[in-house]
Structure 1
Amino acid sequence: MRIQRLRLKNGYKRFHDLTIDLGPTPARIVVLVGPNGCGKSSVLDGIMYHQQLYQAVGSVHVNDASYHSMDSARNIEHNDIEITFAGGGNFSDARNSRQQSGKPNTVFSFRSPYRYNTYVKIHEVRAMPPIKENSYGAGYAGALDSKMEENYRRLQGMVNRYTQDNDVKPSEARSKIIGELNQSIKRCLDLEIVDVGDVESGSGTLYFSKYDQKNKFEFNVLSAGEKEVIDILLDLFLRKSDFNDSVFLIDEPELHINTSIQGRLLNEIDALVGDDCQIWLTTHSIGFLRRLQSEMRNKCQIIQFDPALKLASEPQNLKPMKGSAAAWRELFKVALDDLSELVSPKTIIYCEGRDAPSKSGEERGMDAKAFNTIFADTHPDVLFISSGGNTELDQRSQIAIAILGKVFQNVEILVFKDRDMISGRIADESDRQTYLKHNAANHRVMKRFELENYLYDKDVLKAYCNAQDLIFDESQYDAFVVDITNQNLKDETGRIKKICGISTSINGEVFKLNLASHLTEGMSAFAELADCVFSRK
């Protein structure tokens, strides 16, 4: 069974008139993606409310206008929500066709994002209503979904029935039933159920083992994320038989679960839900989206809720997103939100230096490492990258702008050159200004001769010596460094070390990178360098 078209109209929740049209061949997995407050959960609420209006059995939310309508003066009726299934037919048809098998309430299976599963310890055996009645758990997206204890009781009952029906030992029944469930659990977590407990002995709970844990331990000591996964998988496992031609509505199943587990959990949800079923998910999870984009792309349809849509005032017809790279980037913006600014820097600056990274991908260019150190505190969203010599810098920066500018549309890409950009002779300030005037606005040129002219600034060396308990020879420095802007100091590292009172042999690059950490805000050298890079002065 698969929903093909859903319409929520006449002011259901925040929707003036919303249609979700999946086309003639609706996918197995339908994913509603958008930021908080865009209406994803309201869609699932509408589907569930439509079912409740037909059942109308003791639900306090039937005709509850304060929850289901923007207009509290009117009640929402069943014909305000239209559900059309693939192959024709509506909810009434689907429900009536199940009456003969005694399963009219299995058209939809719903799971709220708010789940209570922190403690399971039962002290009495109690019969549970059949799972096909679908009468437990949350009835709408804002309700608490407390299924774990009842599902534990059902699991106990399943083991007991298997023991009796197959005339086997209880241990054999547990091994059979729990073995199937454990396959799903172990593909998501480093856990497995080793015992379903014994109510009569006061141990009415699930017990688990872990590779580094000698003794078995209760469900109650699992982490919130582990409980969440166990809760979801157990519920789906128990529903396999009676909900084998249903639509599963799962609202934000990723809460408390880290990104790597999210993808594996989605695989198991797909595996546990019957082949003739459909799964509707709401999410803004990085792990889920990544799995949907890769190995599940051929079995899913993505419905994107754009915050710019006027859902409350205008009719909207949403159709599945086309799987272009640009469309997926928009979805991942929703998942990453402000994290996208951390994952990709706001500004990438190409500078001269050793271009090939290490085997582990680390930057090896000394200039880039020094600049990243200098501006780490004041410009944390800037990344300097080495890109070879002067000629390579021009070529590679142009390629980067062409490619990265399309992938990361909000990333600024700059080029920062040493002042020796003129081949064959030393460039002065006049040459620097001419270069800036006649090149693109993203080009910058160092005011001083080279990076060493900033690292070997007197204020920097003094700060370094103070931190290292070294004696800085200021008179010797003044006699040697007569023009900090134009003097060639790159080849004078040995002499600078002596001025700092360093008599032992230390690596020149390490020395320079240590100096970079002392070139800090408040120094005139820092202000000048920052102006060159960020203000193009």
Structure 2
Amino acid sequence: MRISKIRLKNGYKRFHDLTIDLGKAPARIVALVGPNGCGKSSVLDGLLYHASAHERVGQGVNRDHNYHSMTGANSLTWQDVEIQFTTGTFGEAHQLRRATGKSNTIFSFRSPYRYNSQLKISQTSAVPEIKLNSYGAGDASSLDAKMEDNYRRLYALYNRYRDDNDIKPSEAKAKVIGDLNASIKNCLDLEISSIGSVEGNQGTLYFKKLDHPKEFEFNVLSSGEKEVVDILLDLYLRKDDYSDTIFLIDEPELHINTAIQGSLLVEIDRLVGAECQIWLTTHSIGFLRALQTKMRDKCQIIQFRPEYNLAAESRTLTPVEVGPGTWRDLFAIALDDLAHLVSPTTIIYCEGRAEPGSGGRERGMDAQVFNKIFARSHPDVFFTSSGGNTEPDQRSAIALAVLGKVFPAVDIWVLKDRDMASGKFTDENDRQVYLRTNPQNHRVLKRWEIENYLYDKEVLRAYSTGEGLSFDEVAYDTFVTNIVDQNLKDETQRVKNFCGVKSSINADVFKVALSGYMTHEMSVFQELEDCIFNRS
């Protein structure tokens, strides 16, 4: 069963008259994507409101027109939400299921508000049949507490299978939770080790990890781990009775790490029956990435754009044409204000080793030094290495073309050493000519190289004091006669001797250490800052 079209009219929630039309071939997964407050959850509420005229899904507060109407009009009814399935109307589908006792399995709903921090059962008790769909939240604003009931169901299923087949507990466990564990392990680095024993005052799930010496209770899991287990357990238990169902899942990403979200969507898709459809509301990077890659052939995306005046105008939304521009817009929604936190306002390409190390670690010494020097004074600036003295131009041009479209507020600069003439000497006049004849995003160091800043007397004196060493200022002054133009890069060992360093410290490690001693009150810091950020 799949929904092909819905309409929410006469001021339902925040919509004047909204239609979502998926066409003649609605997809397996329908993702409603948009910023907070755009109406994604209201669509799911509308579906549940229509269903409640036939049979209530979940439990909790009975919502009247004050909840469902944009204006609080009591003239609004469930008939103001129209649902068209590929097989007919909701009423027709509901009537056909009466004979099977599964009349309330057309929708399966999960609210974004889930509470499952504790699970410890001290006595057995009956729970309603899962096909009655009478537990959990009944709308997008209600608490969705399903974990305790689902634990009882899993425990009963395990005991029944063990007794009916007269097999060992370990064999029953392998059968009952084997498939569930497969899904959990694909999302988290843990698995269920035991279903516990209610009779033995151990009425909870127990887990194990490879790096943990012994099993531990559900209550010890993190909030994100509990959310994943909760969602997967509920879907696992519903597999048989909800084989032809529309699963409505409202913002499943809450509390869940971005890296896990994509794997979770894959497992949701695996556990939900082949004849079912999944409606998902999200503005999560992880889920969008999974839709873009792993699910691209089985999903349709409905985008709620901020400029749509859905409260005052009639509008029909259809699946977006998926392409690079579309994904740029969708990921911009996912990042929203976070983009200003996770992406810098300025990216500066400087010289140095361009290839990253393991985990994307910066290997260029210059970039490491600059990032350390300006970490406090310019925390929204990121320096990255891009090769020799011609490569920063090339790489920055590519970055401007790509990142400039995704994050138009990000500035991309090029920073070069003053030895930019392939070994030929350049002076301050040459530097000024370069600045005048190149774009405003180009900078050139006043001093010959970064070493001419790091090997400044102020910095070396502070380093020696901080490391408990003795700085030979007389020997330094005798050798360093021109801190601006002198080639000091090749004299690192001599400089280490000036600082009293007797051990064998790698040259780059030494330079990065020095950068930690260049502070904002130093004249050399102020000169470097002015050169880069004021283009002086």
TM-score of the aligned structures, taking structure 1 as reference length = 0.88
SS at match of 2:297: helix
1:435-459 deviations in Å (ceiling 9; x for gaps): 2111111111222233333223232
- Any conservation in 2 of the 1:63–1:76 contact (CA below 8 Å)? no
Q: Does 1:418 align with 2:411?
A: no
* 1:146 alignment partner in structure 2: 145
1:57 and 1:338 map into 2 onto residues whose CA distance is: 35
Q: 1:152 to 1:446 in 2, by over 3 A?
A: closer
The worse-fitting range, judged by mean Cα deviation, of 134-143 and 234-243 is: 234-243
Amino acid at match of 1:128: V
SS at match of 2:248: strand
- Any conservation in 2 of the 1:454–1:525 contact (CA below 8 Å)? yes
* 1:463 alignment partner in structure 2: 462
The structural deviation recorded for 1:44 is 0.9
The structural deviation recorded for 1:279 is 0.8
The structural deviation recorded for 1:466 is 2.1
The structural deviation recorded for 1:28 is 0.7
Amino acid at match of 2:525: F
The structural deviation recorded for 1:374 is 2.0
1:81-105 deviations in Å (ceiling 9; x for gaps): 1111124x22122212222323222
Instruction: Map 1:135-534 onto structure 2 (within 5 A).
Output: 135-159=134-158, 162=161, 166=164, 168-169=166-167, 171=169, 175-211=174-210, 217-341=216-340, 343-356=342-355, 362-406=361-405, 408-422=407-421, 425-475=424-474, 477-478=476-477, 480-493=479-492, 495-502=494-501, 507-534=506-533
Give the fraction of aligned pairs with identical amino acids, expressed as a percent: 62
Amino acid at match of 1:70: M
The worse-fitting range, judged by mean Cα deviation, of 67-76 and 357-366 is: 357-366
- Any conservation in 2 of the 1:189–1:261 contact (CA below 8 Å)? yes
- Any conservation in 2 of the 1:64–1:75 contact (CA below 8 Å)? no
The structural deviation recorded for 1:125 is 4.2
SS at match of 1:55: coil
* 2:36 alignment partner in structure 1: 36
The worse-fitting range, judged by mean Cα deviation, of 401-410 and 95-104 is: 401-410
Amino acid at match of 1:3: I
1:66-87 deviations in Å (ceiling 9; x for gaps): 2222212434202211111124
User: Which consecutive unaligned segments of at least 5 residues does structure 1 have?
Assistant: none
1:422 and 1:207 map into 2 onto residues whose CA distance is: 66
Q: 1:127 to 1:470 in 2, by over 3 A?
A: closer
The structural deviation recorded for 1:533 is 1.2
2:158 and 2:518 map into 1 onto residues whose CA distance is: 70
The structural deviation recorded for 1:389 is 3.6
The structural deviation recorded for 1:360 is 6.9
1:117 and 1:364 map into 2 onto residues whose CA distance is: 44
- Any conservation in 1 of the 2:110–2:136 contact (CA below 8 Å)? yes
Amino acid at match of 1:457: D
SS at match of 2:443: strand
User: Which consecutive unaligned segments of at least 5 residues does structure 2 have?
Assistant: none
Between structure 1 and structure 2, the one with the greater Rg is: 1
The total of aligned residue pairs comes to 535
1:273 and 1:289 map into 2 onto residues whose CA distance is: 19
- Any conservation in 1 of the 2:59–2:137 contact (CA below 8 Å)? no
* 1:72 alignment partner in structure 2: 72
1:25 and 1:54 map into 2 onto residues whose CA distance is: 27
1:184-212 deviations in Å (ceiling 9; x for gaps): 33433444445545545554444445445
* 1:19 alignment partner in structure 2: 19
The structural deviation recorded for 1:363 is 4.0
1:358 and 1:109 map into 2 onto residues whose CA distance is: 46
After superposition, the CA RMSD in angstroms is 3.2
TM-score of the aligned structures, taking structure 2 as reference length = 0.88
The structural deviation recorded for 1:143 is 0.9
SS at match of 1:349: strand
1:501 and 1:56 map into 2 onto residues whose CA distance is: 79
Q: 1:473 to 1:201 in 2, by over 3 A?
A: closer
The worse-fitting range, judged by mean Cα deviation, of 480-489 and 410-419 is: 480-489
Q: 1:188 to 1:6 in 2, by over 3 A?
A: same
Q: Does 1:98 align with 2:102?
A: no
1:321 and 1:474 map into 2 onto residues whose CA distance is: 68
1:536 and 1:276 map into 2 onto residues whose CA distance is: 62
1:34 and 1:505 map into 2 onto residues whose CA distance is: 56
The worse-fitting range, judged by mean Cα deviation, of 495-504 and 39-48 is: 495-504
SS at match of 2:286: helix
2:329 and 2:518 map into 1 onto residues whose CA distance is: 39
2:307 and 2:319 map into 1 onto residues whose CA distance is: 17
